[in-house]
Amino acid sequence: MTQQVLVTGGSGFIGARCVLDLLAAGYAVRTTVRTPARAADVRAQLRVGGVEPGEELTFAVAELTSDDGWADAVAGCDFVLHVASPFPTAEPKDEDELIVPARDGALRVLTAARDAGVGRVVLTSSFAAIGYGHEPTDRPFTEEDWTELDSGVPISSYVKSKTIAERAAWDFIDREGGGLELSTINPVGVLGPLLGRDYSSSVRLVKTVADGRLPRVPRVSFGIVDVRDVATLHRLAMTHPDAAGERFLALSGDPISAQELALLIRGHLGPSGKRISTKLIPDWVLRTLAPFSRSVRNNVGDMGVVRRGTAEKARRILGWTPIPRDEAILATVDSLYALKPE
């Protein structure tokens, strides 16, 4: 009998890849969308990925901010991949705009899954819940680490939302999860080939650089992982017996600096890449802007900071082998030119 998987947020960058990966692996997939019209967007993305979905793909309408629809969404499902989560393009005026739907949405999904007798939920968390609020260190972060929200180090609303939501999910499992199992995936910046116009903020950064719209780049570094590998890791964590109760960092190789990213893309694009700047923004400029911009203020502490992590646990337990970092970056660039998203 074909197993049924619910994927929340199937129209999103990671969610659509998870749906594609599961269908290719032979699962029946139901995915949530905020409105029925979004079902067409999901189908269109799957066609870009080479799959023409049939009756093995179904849809349910549900939102993170409401209880409505979640019982129907999880009914009859063996597993749930909870991918949906708010991810803004700019720092919100009120951090609760991110924290509340991320936390309460996760709890709604977990409650519905428990009540429906789902076997395991895989929650898409983030490196944001692991590597922030710490003093600079050369030690690679692991799944044992948690972001420190009360350290006094400026932290963005997004980082807070992912940390609070994941902690709430583990607390729920400990207190009232019943027989429900939980695993979490904690990716760094997610890149890779686009399936449509809905993509991550990490892809938006690559597009900004590739379009030559940054006259200078900040002195920051970040980790990279391919969206195809993130989808595979969700599926492996969903079924592997040793994945229950575990967190898995998802990353490929060492972090890359914004300047290195610009150099890589410029070299890949050849003559059309000449418009890409590889010059650095002086740190003092960002410090001067910090009092006037919440977004700059929350990120100015990242200047010169390199947060390393390790995916050894995912490799060892799940046999996961990620695509090389630079390959993921260039695949992103190529798909941006192919799809021409806005």
Question: Hey, which residues are catalytic here?
Answer: 162
Q: Tell me the β-bridge partners of 182.
A: 121
The set of residues, in sequence order, having a beta carbon less than 8 Å from that of 1 and lying 6+ positions away, is none
- Sign of the alpha-carbon torsion through 103, 105, 111, 114: negative
The set of residues, in sequence order, having a beta carbon less than 8 Å from that of 33 and lying 6+ positions away, is 10, 11, 39, 41, 42, 59, 60, 61
Dist. CA 63–CA 44, nearest whole Å: 21
Residue 230 near residue 185, CB atoms below 8 Å = yes
Residue 92 near residue 66, CB atoms below 8 Å = no
Rg (CA), the chain: 20
Cα dist from 144 to 141, 147, 253, whole Å: 8, 10, 19
CA 157, 97, 230 angle in degrees (round to 5)?
60
Residue 33 is classified by DSSP as E
Q: Tell me the β-bridge partners of 80.
A: 6, 121
